[in-house]
A and B are shown apart, each in its own frame.
Chain A
Amino acid sequence: MNYSQPYWNPILETLPPETLRALQLKKFQRIFRWAYTHSKFHRALYQAAGVAPEDIRTLDDIRRVPTVEKSMMRQIQGKDPYPYGDALCVPLEEVSVYRQTSGTTGQPVYQPDTWQDWEWWAECWCYILWAQGYRPSDRVFIPFGYNVFVAFWAGHYAAEKLGCEVVPGGVLDTKARILKVQELRATALMGTPTYILSMAETARLKMGIDPSRLSVNKITCAGECGASIPSTKRRLEEAWGANVYDHAGATEIGAWSYECAAQPGGLHVNEAMFLVEIIDPETGQTIEEAGRRGKMVITAFDRQAQPCVRFDSKDVIEWAAEPCACGRSFRLIRGGVVGRADDITKVKGVLIAPSAIEEVVRGIKGLGDEYEVVVDKTGDTETIRLRVELLPEAQDQCAWIQSELEDQLRLKTNLRYDLEICGCGSLPRYEVKAKRFKDLRGKKSE
C-alpha cells in the first residue's frame, strides 16, 4: 500500500466542483427520501412545508426543505420508540450505539446509530486523520474519558481502521496520562485545545517534564474552535513541539470538516459526505461568496438511524476565498468554526465572538492559557469583565501586559473591558469543553 498517497480518497477529494455538486444533489435526494419515508417526525415536518422527495430536482430546490433545530430534537425524545422518539428511522434492535450531546447548550440530545452509521462515523474520521498525516506507524494516545459523549470515540476507531496503534487514555488522571505518553513514546494525541494545553501546563509546572521533548509530533483537536485560532494553535504547537490540526464535528451531525497537513488557516468541508450551506441569519439567503459570515445548515448524506437533514447547527462560518494548496477540491471554511450563533452576542451595541477575545489573550506572552469573560448589566449599563492569569515569570511586566491587553482588545473587538489580572492557577481548569463565556444579563433573579 502507498502510504505517501496524500488523500484518503484520491477520487472524491479531488472531484471537479461541478461533479461534486452533482454528487451532492444525488446524495441529498437519497437521504431526503430516506428521512421522508422512514421518520414520522421528518415526514410531518416536510408535509407541513409542502415539500416531497420528487420536488428536489436541483440544489436550489433544497432550500425548500425546512431546517431542523436541536430544540426540536429535544421535544421528540423521551417518547416511543424509547428514548429516541419519532425521528428514528430503523427498528430499535438495529441501533447498536447510543451517544448524546454534551449538553453545553441545554438538555442533551440522544443520538442512536446503527453499526453502519458507526462505520460511517469512523470513515469520516479516516478522511481527517489521513489528511493530517496519521499512518500505521503512529501510536495514538487518546486522553479522554470514554463515556456517553461521542467526543473522540470515532477518532479512536478511525485510527484503528487506518492501522495505527491506539492507546485509550480513559480512566487516568492528567499526570498518569503524561507518564503513559512518555513511557510509550506516543506520536499523536487527540483532545480539546483546552485539555491539551492543560496537559502541557501540568507536565511543565507539576511534573518538570517539557512536553515538547516528548515524542508527540501531531495533535488533532476538536470540541472547541481553539486549534483554528492562530494564537491558541501557536501555543499548542510550541508547548508540544508538534503540528496541531483542527477538526469540527458534532454528535447530531458527524465529523464534517478537517484541517489538512498544509494548515491553510481553515477547515475543509468533507463535501462528499456532507452538504454545508451558509445562511445569512438576517435574510435567510444562502451565502456563496467568500468572507461573509453566516450560520451553518448541514446535511449528512449517509447517516441513517437518526438522519441529519438541513440541521441548523448555529455554528458561525464563512467560505475561504482561495482553494487550498493541498489540491483537495473540498471547499475551505476560513478560520474554522468562528463561534456559535448563540455565543455571538451584542455587548454595548457591538457584536462580539468569544473566539476574538481568545485570540488576543493567547497572543500575549506572559499571560496564561486560561481566561474568563463575564458580561453583565447594572441598570442600563452593560459591562464586560475579563479575567486573565499572569504567569509567574511575567510578574515584573504586569503593567505593560495590562496596557497591551487593553490596546489589543480595543483594536480587535472594539470594546472596553474591566480587566482583572489574577494569579496563575486561580481560574477554573476544564477537561473537556471549557465554559469561559458567561452572560449574566437577565439572569439576576436565578
Chain B
Amino acid sequence: MQSTIDMDDLHRNIQSARKAVEELKRLGEDFPAVARNAERMLASLKMLEINVSDVIEMEGIDPGDS
C-alpha cells in the first residue's frame, strides 16, 4: 500500500498550496472574511506538513525505506 503513495508529490502540492494561501492572506488584509479563512487554512496546511512534509524535509532520509 505504501508504494502507491508519492510523498514527494504530496509535499510539492502542500508547498504550492501554502504559497497560494499565504498570498490570499496577504491580499485579504482589508478583507476579514478572506484573511481569517486563509488563517484557518494555514492551520490545516500545517497539519499536512506535520503528516507529510516534516519527514520529507529530513536530509538523507527516505520515508519509504522500510
- Give A contacts to B, CB under 8 Å: 5, 9-12, 14-16, 19, 22-23, 26-27, 114-116, 118-120, 123, 272-273, 302
Please give me the residue from chain B that is nearest to A11 by CB atom.
Answer: B63
Interface centre among A116, A118, A302 (most CB of B within 10 A): A116
Q: Which residues of A contact B5 (CB under 8 A)?
A: 10-11
Minimal beta-carbon separation of B6 from chain A (angstroms) = 11
Does B40 sit within 8 A of A, measured CB to CB?
Answer: yes
In contact, A23 and B58 (Cβ under 8 angstroms) = yes
Q: Is B33's CB within 8 Å of the partner chain A?
A: no
**A115 in complex: contacting residue of B39, B50, B51, B61, CB < 8 Å:** B39
B61, A19: Cβ atoms closer than 8 Å? yes
Shortest C-beta distance, A401 to chain B (Å), equals 51
Q: How many A-B residue pairs have CB under 8 A?
A: 61
Give the residues in chain B near A114, CB-CB below 8 Å. 43
**Interface size range of chain B in the complex:** 20 to 34
Contacting residues of chain B (1-45) with chain A, CB-CB under 8 angstroms: 1-2, 5, 7, 39-40, 42-44
**How many Å lie between the Cα of A116 and that of B48 in the bound state?**
12
B31 CB, nearest partner CB in chain A, Å:
18
Minimum CB–CB distance for B44 against chain A, Å: 6
B2 to chain A, nearest CB (A): 6
Binding site of A, secondary structure by majority: helix, strand, loop or mixed? helix
Say which residue of A5, A10, A26, A118 sits within 8 Å of B58 (CB atoms).
Answer: A26
Chain A nearest CB: distance from B10 CB in Å? Answer: 9
5 contacts between A and B (CB under 8 A): A12-B51, A23-B58, A27-B54, A115-B40, A272-B50
In the complex, residue of chain B having the shortest beta-carbon distance to the beta carbon of A4: B1
Query: Contact at A116–B42, with CB atoms within 8 Å?
Result: yes
Out of A10, A116, A119, name the residue touching B2 (CB < 8 Å): A10
Q: How far does the alpha carbon of A12 sit from the alpha carbon of B47 in the complex, in Å? A: 13
Most buried by A among B40, B44, B47: B47
| Interface contact B44-A11, CB-CB below 8 Å | no
Residues of A within 8 A of B1 (CB): 5, 10
Q: How long is the Cα–Cα vector from A144 to B26 in the complex, in angstroms?
A: 40
On whether the beta carbons of B7 and A11 are closer than 8 Å, the reply is yes
B66, A23: Cβ atoms under 8 Å? no
Report the separation of the CA atoms of residues A142 and B9 in the bound assembly, to the nearest whole angstrom. 38
Q: By the criterion CB–CB under 8 Å, are A116 and B66 in contact?
A: no
> How many angstroms from the CA of A119 to the CA of B45 in the assembled complex?
10
Residue of B nearest to A2 (CB): B1
Asked if residues A9 and B51 are in contact (CB atoms below 8 Å), the reply is yes
Question: Contact at A16–B66, with CB atoms within 8 Å?
Answer: yes
Give the chain A neighbours of B65 by CB distance below 8 A.
16, 19
User: Given the complex of chains A and B, what is the CA–CA distance between A438 and B46 in angstroms?
Assistant: 44
